[in-house]
Structure formats: C-alpha cells, structure tokens
Structure 1
Amino acid sequence: MKAVQITSYGAADVLRVNEVDRPAPGAGEVLVSVEASSVNGHDVIIRAGEMKMVSGRRFPIGTGLDFAGTVAATGADVEGYRAGDRVWGMVHPRQRHTTAGAAEYVVVSADRIAHAPAGLSPVDAASLVVTGATALIALRDSVHLAGGERILVRGAAGGVGTAAVQLARAMGGHVTALARGHHAQLLTGLGADEVRDYGSTTSDQIGPFDVIVDTVGTELNCYRSRLGKGGRMVTVGLSASALAAIAASSVYGARRIRTFSANPGSAVLRDLAKHVTSGALRPVVHSVYPLADIAAAHEAFERGGAVGKHVVAVSA
C-alpha cells in the first residue's frame, strides 16, 4: 500500500510516499481503508522535529492525524463495526506510528473511530475530525459555553475557528468572529453575529466577553484582559510564548487561560456527528490535494491564510 512517511525531520520535502506492507488489525483494532486525511498543526510540528520526545529519532514516521474511509477488516473483540461501514477517526497523537492517516490503510483501536455522518463525503468528513472535535471540547468541556453568553472566536476563519463559530452559535452563544475582514460574509453565513477585522481591531476595542476561544496563540494576556466577570478563556494555538502566558495566568483563577490536549475518542466523534446531522456544523474546505502532493499541502498550511482546511484525497 502507499503511505506518506517522514524520512527525517525538516521542511515539507522530507515527506515521501512509500510502498509499505498493509497492516493487519489485532484484538480490539479496526483496519480502515482511508479515502481522505487532512493536514493539522500536529502533523507539521512532528515533521519539523518539534516533538522529538514523542516521535523519537527512528525513521520513517507516519503522518496524518485524522482520516475518513471505510472499514476493511476488524480484529477480535470488536463490536459495532463491520466491513464496508463508513467511519471517521484519528490515530493517537502521543503514540509513534510508522504509518498513520495519510496512507491507503490505517489500523487504529476501535475506540478511536465512529460512524461518519451519512451524506458527508470523505473529504468533508476528514476536514471536520480534528477541527470539529477540538472546537467541541473547547466550548463544551473547557469553557462550558452557556446560551446567551458573549463569545469571541479569535482566528475564526481557520479550521478550528470555523467549527467553533458554528458550534458556539448552535449552543446559543452570541458570537463575535475575529478574522480578516474579507471573510466576513463567510463567517456571518456560519453563524457569527458580528465579524471584526483583526487587521484594524485591537484587543482593547472589543469586549468584554464571557468566553474567548483563541486559535492563534499570541497576545494571550491582552485578550484575557477582555474577559468580563466570571469569564473563561481557552487557547488551542500553542507555542513557547503561549505556554508561558498560560502558566502565568494561573494567578487569575477561573479567569486564567486554559488549554487542553485534543485527543477525542469514539464518544466525542459520535457527538460531533450529531451536530453535523442536525445541520449545526458543516465542513469548510480550503483546498484538496492528491496523496502524491502532500508536501504542497503541508507548505500551504505553513503559509497560513487558509479558510477552513487543507485536505488530502488518499483515494481518487
């Protein structure tokens, strides 16, 4: 089978599409025939060598955190799935993989997949796995958004941002989206009550907010100051400076800056599917690349400025 592998740490040109043996599922595992995967920050960070304590120094290393496709086979003790079922899921982000979601087949534990929403194409499904799950965990489990609360989504045009705008609206929040001004029509269509241009809007010109969801990871203290009484903030844009700001914010108690490791299992994916089925959440895909051009997809991700997700079509 074809699988994208990291051959050494570095820029996108270290990615190779190699021929490898097709894996077989063990007990409690499922073999998925992958139709699409997407490019996530985790993939780029691993490839660049910024998480060597997790990925190690032995090559090759698989890439592709998420996937959508069909069940090809199941191992012993797997219930609820059979060959031909359409599924979506993700590999474990803290485990080392020689092949991962950007491959023709992937083996994962059955508790890391769920049935994909009916009517959603593999490309659309792959675009929502990590972004949708991250936004759902942030809003529901981290900051506990309640109906009627004022929420700011910073970096609203990105993958997590577009999902967060939609889910926040579905949860009854009054949504302010901060993004490039020319994305206003799209974000309003996704459910934003107000769109502010980050190029001409400073943090002290907006708010106060009950909830802030940040996907950028910069100027965190400035935005934290825009929380009202009882406000909560979470960031998913992690960097060295962001981690320092998160640690320093602990003195503010409930108004500190929160973060979390998005590592969704089947339960979160099933909940996410309900939001898709209800019409509350729809995919936003910026571009689709064939598997052979995954290096170009990584480069596009690193350039930034995308609206939604870069997706890799594994099967034609």
Structure 2
Amino acid sequence: MKAIVQDSYGPADVLHLRDIDQPAMNDQEVLVQVRAAGVDPGVWIFMTGRPYLARLAAGPRRPRVPVRGRDLAGVVVAVGARVTRFRPGDEVFGTCPRGSYAEFASAPEPRLARKPANLSFAQAAAAPVSGMTALRAVRDSGAVRPGQRVLVIGASGGVGSHAVQIAKAYGATVTAVCAPARAAFVLGLGADDILDYTSEEVDSRGPIHDVVIDTGGDRPLSLLRRALTPHGTLALVGGTYTKGPVLSGYDRQMVRAPLLSLFVGQRLRSVSAVERTRDLSELGNLIESGALTPAVDRTYPLAQAADAIRHLRHGHPAGKIVVTV
C-alpha cells in the first residue's frame, strides 16, 4: 500500500510517499481503508520531534511509528476475532496510533465510532483529534455551564472552531478571538461576538469571562487571567511551535499553571491529550444533532501530505486541513 513515511525528524521535506506493507491487525483491532485523515499540530510535533520532550513518546533518535497521521475516516475491510462493534463495510471515524496517512490503517476498536451519516469522509476526518480536544476543554477543563461567558482564543483553528460550537451547544455566550479576515467564518460557527486581536488584546474588555479557552499557546498566564472573572477557569490547549526546543510553550501547562493554581482563586487547567470511546461517541452525537459541524479549510491528496502540513504551519487555516486518500 502507499503511505507517507519518514525515517528521521525534521521539516516536511522528511516525508515521502512509499509502498509499504499493509498494517498487521490483532484480535482487538479493525483494519480500515482510509478515505481521509486530518492534519493537526500533533502531526507537526511528531514529524519534527520538537519540543524534544515529545521524543520520549515518539522515539529518541527517529520516529518509532514511521507513518504520520492520527485521525481518520474510512471503511472497515476486516475485523479482529474479538471485535464486536464493527463489521466489513461499516463507515467509521476515529484515531489510529500507527499512522493514518496511508491507504490502510489498523486501529483498536475503542478508538473508532460509526461515521455520522450527515458528514463526508473529509469532514469526519477533521473531527476526532481536534473535536475531542475541544470537548475536553469545554466540558472537563472548562466545566462550561448554560449562561456563562466563554472566550475562545484561536477560534478559527482546528480545536477553536470545534470549541466555539461545543460551547454554544452547552448554552454559553461565546466571544471568538480571531483576525478580521476570519470574522465571518467564526460568526458562521455560532459565535456571539468577535474580538479582533489585531486591534485589541484579550484582556481589553476586563475580567468578564467565566471561561477562557486558549488554543493559541503564546500569551502569558498573567494576561489571560486578566480576561477571567475572579473565580473563572482558564483551559490551556497546546503550546507554540517556536518558543524553545525542550518544552516550547507547553511549560505553561506542565509547570507554571499547576503551580499558580495553588495560590489564586482562578482555576488554571490543562486540557489532557486522552482519546476515549465515550468522548468520540459524544462528539458523534453532537454532530448528528446538528450542534457541531467540523469545518474543513481545504483538502490535499495523499501524495501532497507534506504541503498540507506546511499549510498548517504557515497558512492560518480556517478549520481543519484534511488529507484525502
């Protein structure tokens, strides 16, 4: 089968389209013919091996998993002997730990759910990683309740575009932080108001937000806290690409926010990177109800996966980028 493979860490130039063996499948896994796969910051991190802390999971000198990509949508072609929820021909979406930028991918049964019928494969592939992250930011870390005021920083990105819609589904009033060129896009997602970061900072309106969801990763905690009510909650999603090779912007989540939370009235929370069956199922329910529609910025064919990752890094996409197979 054809797949996007890398032998070493580095920029998108390390990615190559190659013929490799079809992935093996154990008794609890599902073999999926991939139709589409999402592009997210995690792909960039494991491609470059930066911040270096990521190499503890990915491999110290080269990637243990050579095929890139994590979330996918496709059609089941075979199931393991202990799989009970799927059979060949089922359309599914979810995540794959051994790479989804390929014609076929194997995934543990709990990492998959039936593809919502109202989505294309490209839309479904845009949902799992970013959608589950946004769900945890809104529901778990942010504990958003009806009537609260929520500020979403990076509202036009992959996680942010999901977070705006999920926060609205949870009954919040949402202010979306974005550039003027993305205002119509985020208002179309359901945002109630726009904060243009090119003309005002996120704390310019005072401490009025019950929850701040920061997907940008480049603002100091002191600034973000000034946008929160005295007992509000800050949900931190991800870090920057450029601030240091070891921790990058993630030191806010891993070091500073947990320590500061011990001494202030505000709750400063990190959004955990956990993929769970119940989160994927809840995401599917929100999609099927019409409360959430994954936004696709553009698609790239498999052979151009490197260009897709470059666009993620430099193109400021509106919603998610998707690789089609």
> What TM-score range do you get, normalising by the shorter chain?
over 0.9
TM-score by length of 2: 0.91
- Aligned residue-pair number: 308
Q: Which residue of 2 aligns with 1:81?
A: 86
Tell me the amino acid that sits aligned with residue 183 of structure 1: R
1:258 aligns with 2:269: yes
Q: Which residue of 2 aligns with 1:228?
A: 229
Q: Which residue of 2 aligns with 1:13?
A: 13
Gapped runs of 5+ residues in structure 2? 241-247
Task: Give the Cα–Cα distance (whole angstroms) in 1 for the partners of residues 108 and 276 of structure 2.
Answer: 10
Q: Which residue of 2 aligns with 1:55?
A: 58
Q: Which residue of 1 aligns with 2:154?
A: 155
Q: Return the offset for 1:287.
A: 1.0
Show the 5 A alignment for 1:110-189: 110-189=109-188
Q: Which residue of 2 aligns with 1:311?
A: 322
Task: Give the Cα–Cα distance (whole angstroms) in 2 for the partners of residues 274 and 180 of structure 1.
Answer: 30
Q: Return the offset for 1:264.
A: 1.8
Q: Return the offset for 1:259.
A: 1.0
Task: Give the Cα–Cα distance (whole angstroms) in 1 for the partners of residues 251 and 62 of structure 2.
Answer: 28
Q: Which residue of 1 aligns with 2:292?
A: 281
Q: Secondary structure at the match of 2:36?
A: strand
1:52/1:11 Cα in 2 relative to 1: closer, same or farther (>3 Å)? same
Post-superposition, which runs of at least 4 consecutive aligned residues in structure 1 deviate over 6 A?
none
Q: Secondary structure at the match of 2:26?
A: coil
1:29 aligns with 2:29: yes
Q: Return the offset for 1:300.
A: 0.6
What is the RMSD computed on CA atoms of the aligned residues? 1.5
Q: Which residue of 1 aligns with 2:238?
A: 237
* C-alpha distance after superposition, 1:168-204 (max 9, x if no partner): 1111001000100122222112111101111111133
Q: Which residue of 1 aligns with 2:302?
A: 291
Q: Which residue of 1 aligns with 2:257?
A: 246
Q: Indicate if the aligned counterparts of 1:218 and 1:242 stay in contact, CA closer than 8 A.
A: no
Q: Which residue of 2 aligns with 1:66?
A: 71
TM-score by length of 1: 0.93
Q: Quick one: percent identity of the two aligned structures?
A: 40
Show the 5 A alignment for 1:188-203: 188-203=187-202
Task: Give the Cα–Cα distance (whole angstroms) in 1 for the partners of residues 258 and 48 of structure 2.
Answer: 25
Q: Return the offset for 1:225.
A: 2.3
Task: Give the Cα–Cα distance (whole angstroms) in 2 for the partners of residues 203 and 140 of structure 1.
Answer: 22
Tell me the amino acid that sits aligned with residue 121 of structure 1: S
Tell me the amino acid that sits aligned with residue 27 of structure 1: D
Q: Which residue of 2 aligns with 1:267?
A: 278
1:58/1:162 Cα in 2 relative to 1: closer, same or farther (>3 Å)? closer
Tell me the amino acid that sits aligned with residue 237 of structure 2: V
Q: Indicate if the aligned counterparts of 1:7 and 1:16 stay in contact, CA closer than 8 A.
A: no
Tell me the amino acid that sits aligned with residue 272 of structure 1: L
Q: Indicate if the aligned counterparts of 1:23 and 1:107 stay in contact, CA closer than 8 A.
A: yes
Task: Give the Cα–Cα distance (whole angstroms) in 2 for the partners of residues 5 and 247 of structure 1.
Answer: 37
Task: Give the Cα–Cα distance (whole angstroms) in 2 for the partners of residues 141 and 197 of structure 1.
Answer: 27
Q: Indicate if the aligned counterparts of 2:125 and 2:322 stay in contact, CA closer than 8 A.
A: yes
Q: Secondary structure at the match of 2:125?
A: helix
Q: Return the offset for 1:255.
A: 1.6
Comparing 8-17 with 244-253, greater Cα deviation is found at: 244-253
1:110/1:179 Cα in 2 relative to 1: closer, same or farther (>3 Å)? same
